[in-house]
């Protein structure tokens, strides 16, 4: 609509200027002024047409109409396009060429002036917007400043929407009555600028260019606040994690000593009491609970070391048989009524490892097997030599691994319900610690369900360390 009005206005200006030029020319004729004066008046009308209209079209059209008007009104025979004097053809040609050249030059100058003005407006708008955005104290203030500045350029009230959701969710909030201009940040779309569709469609290319530049400045400012917020959030999380780790380490260190004392005392009481005595059962329960807490404390300490990157692996050649024996001795008091079968090669297997850590891995796997088997269940622990290393297996005949947690069983705080009621319920750190320790040794660990029922956990320790040296 706006464009149509501009065209109609330009056409009316062209006709008006040529009409005025004709009236002035007729006056000059009555006053017996030379014809050159009339030609100059028409050329002036063409120049003015080029000045006050948009583009080359109206100037060229005015040139042609002016030539025809001069021929009709001021050359004999009058009021016809017929030319009686051939010399007038030269006059018409010169007049047309002069008018076209003059109008074209005027239009170009006008275009250059308009471009310069647009650049000035754009630079001024961006300068003021950038200054105000720099002084903004938060994201809301940034959006408010951008909304007002863009509204002035567009000439209507606009709105800015800031969001964090994924693009699919953003699509649901589109309003057909508005044209949305996306605010694109470095990593994602930060929001949109909503402009009434009827106003957006009438924007000139220069206005669109200014609008895009202002939106880019807004996106930069929003990115700055987003980055700052993320940095603060990460810093807070790191601080919280550090405080949590320090607290857990402090508590764990303070608990280990009394728990060791409780375990030792309960063992002494068990040794001094007959198994049929109720006091033996009490001492046994105290020992089991203390042993479970002690293992939990060890797992918490190991996990805090892993999370803080302070897990130090001190490798040295260790006999596989000794490591398995130490682990079994530790869980001896907790494997009540369960039969443990051992399958290891007759030859001595030496693997370069941190013995205490691998013992902890086996303890966690054995403890897990005890929790998920009945009292008359069977637990198998075995070692199998291969060309590049040794596989350790801990298998049971329990209920197996639930499908819903199978893929994330080695993640932190993933647990499943134990079968036996006489074992403490874990908090989901044991298997995560196993994976971290084995990975630190350059090995792998996995879990699966056995065809005959129960679960199978295995981990692999290579003979060669990460430098390629044989550890045997």
What is the mean pLDDT of the segment spanning 216-235? Answer: 73
3-class secondary structure, 173: coil
CATH number, domain containing residue 440: 3.30.565.10
Pairing outcome for strands 389-396 and 378-385: antiparallel
User: Domain for residue 265, yes or no?
Assistant: no
Q: How far apart are the first and last CA of the chain?
A: 88
Same domain for 446 and 321, yes or no, is yes
User: Domain for residue 470, yes or no?
Assistant: no
pLDDT number for residue 438: 92
Same domain for 399 and 455, yes or no, is yes
User: Domain for residue 217, yes or no?
Assistant: yes
Same domain for 47 and 140, yes or no, is no
Of 229, 258, 291, the domain-final residue? 229
User: Domain for residue 277, yes or no?
Assistant: no
Same domain for 336 and 443, yes or no, is yes
> Is it true that the peptide bond before 256 is cis, omega within 30 degrees of 0?
no
**Adjacency order of strands within the sheet including 178-184:** 159-162, 189-196, 178-184
Same domain for 33 and 151, yes or no, is no
Same domain for 100 and 144, yes or no, is no
pLDDT in tens, 179-198: 777 777 767 777 777 777 77
Domain span at residue 348?
A: 312-462
Residue in the structure block whose two tokens are 């929003």: 222
Same domain for 71 and 204, yes or no, is no
User: Domain for residue 122, yes or no?
Assistant: no
3-class secondary structure, 368: helix
Of 297 and 392, which is predicted with more confidence?
392
Q: Which of 465, 148, 178 lies closest to 313, judged by CA?
A: 465
Same domain for 323 and 184, yes or no, is no
pLDDT in tens, 135-178: 776 777 777 777 777 777 766 677 776 765 443 444 445 667 77
Angle at 300 between CA 357 and CA 323, to 5 degrees: 20
Same domain for 95 and 148, yes or no, is no
pLDDT number for residue 245: 61
Confidence of residue 448 (pLDDT cuts 50, 70, 90): very high
Same domain for 142 and 96, yes or no, is no
- Is residue 461 within 8 Å of 392, Cβ to Cβ? yes
User: Domain for residue 301, yes or no?
Assistant: no
User: Does position 371 have pLDDT exceeding 70, yes or no?
Assistant: yes
pLDDT in tens, 12-67: 888 888 888 888 888 888 888 887 888 788 778 877 777 777 766 777 777 778 77
In terms of C-beta density within 10 A (0-12 exposed, 13-18 middle, 19 or more buried), how is residue 439 classed?
middle
No. of helices (H) and no. of strands (E), the chain: 12, 10
User: Domain for residue 275, yes or no?
Assistant: no
Of 196, 229, 262, the domain-final residue? 229
User: Domain for residue 56, yes or no?
Assistant: yes
User: Does position 88 have pLDDT exceeding 60, yes or no?
Assistant: yes
Same domain for 173 and 110, yes or no, is no
Torsion (CA) 218, 221, 225, 228 in degrees, nearest 10: 150
Same domain for 59 and 96, yes or no, is yes
Of 82, 117, 152, the domain-final residue? 117
Please tell me the total count of domains within the chain.
3
CA separation for the pair 247, 459 (Å, rounded): 31
CA separation for the pair 402, 101 (Å, rounded): 87
Confidence of residue 310 (pLDDT cuts 50, 70, 90): low
User: Does position 249 have pLDDT exceeding 80, yes or no?
Assistant: no
């Amino acid at each position: 609509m706006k464009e149509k009005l501009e065209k109609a206005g330009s056409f009316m200006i062209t006709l008006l200027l040529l009409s005025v030029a004709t009236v002035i020319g007729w006056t000059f004729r009555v006053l017996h002024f030379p014809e050159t004066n009339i030609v100059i008046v028409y050329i002036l009308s063409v120049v003015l047409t080029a000045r006050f209209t948009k583009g080359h079209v109206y100037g060229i059209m005015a040139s042609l109409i002016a030539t025809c008007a001069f021929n009709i009104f001021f050359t004999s025979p009058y009021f016809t396009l017929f030319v009686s004097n051939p010399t007038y053809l030269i006059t018409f040609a010169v007049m047309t060429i002069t008018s076209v050249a003059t109008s074209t030059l005027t239009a170009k100058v006008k275009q250059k002036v308009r471009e310069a003005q647009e650049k000035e407006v754009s630079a001024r708008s961006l300068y003021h917007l950038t200054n105000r955005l720099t002084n903004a104290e938060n994201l809301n203030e940034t959006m408010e400043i951008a909304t007002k500045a863009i509204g002035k350029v567009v000439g209507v009230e606009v709105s800015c929407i800031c969001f964090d959701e994924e693009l699919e969710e953003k699509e649901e909030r589109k309003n057909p009555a508005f044209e949305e201009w996306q605010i694109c940040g470095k990593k994602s779309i930060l929001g949109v600028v909503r402009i009434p569709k009827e106003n957006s469609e009438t924007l000139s290319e220069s206005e669109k260019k200014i609008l895009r530049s202002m939106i880019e400045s807004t996106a930069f400012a929003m990115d700055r606040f987003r980055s700052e917020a993320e940095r603060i959030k990460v810093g807070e999380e790191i601080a919280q994690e550090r405080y949590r780790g320090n607290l857990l380490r402090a508590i764990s260190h303070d608990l280990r000593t009394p728990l060791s004392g409780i375990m030792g005392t309960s063992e002494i009481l068990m040794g001094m009491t007959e198994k049929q005595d109720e006091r033996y059962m009490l001492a046994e329960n105290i020992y089991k609970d203390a042993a479970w807490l002690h293992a939990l404390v060890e797992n918490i300490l190991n996990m805090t070391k892993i999370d803080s990157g302070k897990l130090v692996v001190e490798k040295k050649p260790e006999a596989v048989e000794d490591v398995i024996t130490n682990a079994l001795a530790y869980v001896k008091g907790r494997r009540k009524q369960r039969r443990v079968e051992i399958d290891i090669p007759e030859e001595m297997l030496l693997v370069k490892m941190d013995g205490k850590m691998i013992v902890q891995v086996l303890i966690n796997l054995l403890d897990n097997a005890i929790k998920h088997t009945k009292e008359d269940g069977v637990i198998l622990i075995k070692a199998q030599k291969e060309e590049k290393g040794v596989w350790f297996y801990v298998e049971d005949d329990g209920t197996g691994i639930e499908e819903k947690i199978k893929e994330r069983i080695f993640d932190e705080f993933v647990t499943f319900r134990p079968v036996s009621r006489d074992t403490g319920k874990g908090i989901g750190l044991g298997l995560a610690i196993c994976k971290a320790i084995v990975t630190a040794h350059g090995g792998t660990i996995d879990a699966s369900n056995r065809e005959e029922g129960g679960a199978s956990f295995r981990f692999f320790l290579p003979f060669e360390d990460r430098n390629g040296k044989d550890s045997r």
